[in-house]
Amino acid sequence: MSADTLKMPAKTLTRMRASLGRVAPALLVGVALTALAMMLSNDFYLRILFMGGVYYLCAAGMNVLAGYAGQKSLGQAGLFAAGAYTVALLTTRLEVPPVLALIAAPLVAGAVGVLIALPSLRVKGPSLALVTLAFGIVAEKLVTEWTELFGGAQGVYGIAPLQWRGVPFSLQQWVLLVIALAVATHIVLRYFLEGRYGRALLSLQLDEIAAECSGIAVYRYKTTAFVVAAALCGLAGALVAQQNQYFNSDFVTFHLSIFILLLVLLGGAGNIYGPIAGALVLTLTETFLAQWPYIQNFVYGAMLLFALYLMPNGIVGVLLRYRGKRKREAMTLADGLAMEQAAMPLRPAAGQEVAGAPLLELRGVNKAFGGVVTARGISQKMEAHRIHALIGPNGAGKSTLLNILTGVIPADSGSILLSGRDVTGLSAHALAASGIARTFQNLRLFGALSVLENVLVGAHARIGMIGGEAAAVDNAMAVLAFAGLLEHAHTAAGSLPYGVQRRVELARALSSQPALLLLDEPAAGLNPQETAELGRLVRKIGQRGIAVLMVEHDMGLVMGISDHIVVLDRGVVIAQGTPAQIQADPQVIAAYLGSDDAFEELSGELPC
Ligand SMILES: Nc1ncnc2c1ncn2[C@@H]1O[C@H](COP(=O)(O)OP(=O)(O)OP(=O)(O)O)[C@@H](O)[C@H]1O
């Protein structure tokens, strides 16, 4: 048996152990809490456990929304109410069986979540927080004022609880149910958040345009985060309403919305354990403060300030600092193995191609910003397996053309064909999935994510829905090795020197296995040695069969590595050809006469 065949099962075994390692702690905690609940006969303690579970459900959803997707919502009380009033009205007015009402609650709340997600397409940050705040206020007013339906402060009585063998659930049974739901929620969320979905959410939080161009459907992910948060909050509300058999408008307050946000910010936003820590600490705090209700708001406000200013990563962030270091060291060893076995070659992924069609074809592309015309009837063909350069004086329209090609901005008219397929008007994430990857003139890295995670985000569209993660890590490690970045794999991308960050962005684009790689001024800010290294890297990329289109002002680099150069001036292609033809073209020289530096560099050579 060869060494290779021995290594594969060992690797599979390691991954199986890792999967089990993710589920086992949650199950063990669930078993321990179940045993505790079975032993407890005191309603006071059972109630603490019940509310701890309810708060965890709210926090786990909010963590997806605020912690991962970065969409801070101040209106979760409205979604809590949506779930609670769903079970209240379904069981009292329509006599729907309690189990069905409980199932309907998260569905109704999730549907309301879609409505709140709509504004997130247009507004961000504080404006989005205000929109969600407005939603919370509307919900609060609605349930207070519309007394015929919601009962106002009087509330809805006689909400049918779940039953076991014809007898309503005891508090202990409610606790057991909440524990089961919390454990299941944790396991499911962990499965999704510790892979491509979690990375996608984090990346869109950090830079939406870079995430879109890495193949992530930003709006769809944001909407999903709103729905998950809403559904879990609605489920929590329904559990409280059914357990109490009563619900009124007093529950639906701004205070509750802030409390749910605090659960996440204090526990640790963007960390799978954050909601657990938040629910634990705040349930105990709430119990302790029950005797002094008048200072509750003051204490929660102080805790929120404390979390925001002094513990940006929450309790879990502080606790895991030491453990994080150890984990990184262990990962480096495992990744060494991954590197050895890196099976996925760096090459364009197979796409749908029309036989004989050029890789990229522009037909009469026009674009203007008011009176500034940046593309005037551009028709151009670009062949696969070649390094193309797009040059021209400042303001010629080069970056705008790259933005049109990657779906960041739409063309006014004209069409774009990729391997013969019309891709005009496709969104940035769809174009990325079709095989167009890019880097940006001004770096757009996900600075808080590691280099490896950045590269994994780049591979988003290529990772299979289930089971593709392991192969993606292998692929990412191979890309890092190719780009000479292996030693930085576990370093936060934002902490690296500028020149290395540029290479990371290039590696992120490469990991999507593009057919066409667009580089927007890749040498900007690099010293001559780094530029020479970049030139060698781009050549290596070209040798792997990936076509490159590079916008660049460094004529040494352009003339040194390009097979074909297109010259743009005020939105018009004025020349194209080999470097020698371009250097001798009188029209090009005339276009550059306004820029002495660039003119001198037209005959430049790639520094060694
Ligand atoms: N979003 C926008 N709104 C308005 N005008 C824009 C916008 N984007 C670009 N422009 C204008 O379009 C023109 C072309 O800009 P573009 O960035 O494409 O040029 P460029 O050739 O890449 O220049 P440089 O080499 O300096 O980066 C410029 O005059 C610019 O001000």
The predicted-structure confidence for 334-392, as pLDDT tens digits, reads as follows 444 444 444 444 555 555 555 667 889 999 999 999 888 899 999 988 888 899 999 98
Strands 372-382 and 246-247: unpaired
Q: Amino acid letter at 563?
A: D
pLDDT value at position 335? 46
Cα 411 to averaged position of ligand 1 atoms, centre (Å): 14
Cα 589 to averaged position of ligand 1 atoms, centre (Å): 21
pLDDT value at position 344? 41
pLDDT value at position 401? 93
Give the model confidence (pLDDT) of 225-278 as tens digits: 999 999 999 999 999 999 999 998 888 888 889 899 999 999 998 889 999 999
pLDDT value at position 5? 47
Residue minimizing CA distance to atom 3 of ligand 1: 369
Cα 393 to averaged position of ligand 1 atoms, centre (Å): 11
What angle (nearest 5°) sits at the alpha carbon of residue 314, between those of residues 312 and 318? 100
Residue minimizing CA distance to atom 25 of ligand 1: 394
All structural domains of the chain, each given as residue ranges with its CATH number in brackets, are 15-252 (no CATH), 360-601 (3.40.50.300)
pLDDT value at position 10? 62
Q: Which atom of ligand 1 is nearest to the CA of 396?
A: 21
Residue 450 is classified by DSSP as B
pLDDT value at position 241? 94
**Nearest CA-CA partner of 72 in 220, 236, 264, 200:** 264
Give ligand 1 pocket residues (Cβ under 6 A).
Answer: 369, 372, 374, 392, 394-400
Give the number of other CB atoms < 10 A from CB of residue 321: 10
From 209, 366, 373, 399, give the residue whose CB has the most ligand 1 atoms within 8 Å, as the site to mutate.
399
Q: Is the ipTM of this complex over 0.90?
A: yes
**Nearest CA-CA partner of 509 in 497, 499, 517:** 517
pLDDT value at position 354? 58
Give the H/E segment covering residue 124: none
Cβ atoms of 383 and 402 within 8 Å: the answer is no
Note if the pTM is more than 0.80: yes
From 369, 439, 549, 551, give the residue whose CB has the most ligand 1 atoms within 8 Å, as the site to mutate.
369
Which residues, in sequence order, are CB contacts of 5 under 8 Å at separation 6+? none
Residues of the chain with pLDDT under 70: 1-16, 18, 120-121, 322-356, 464-468, 593-608
pLDDT value at position 471? 79
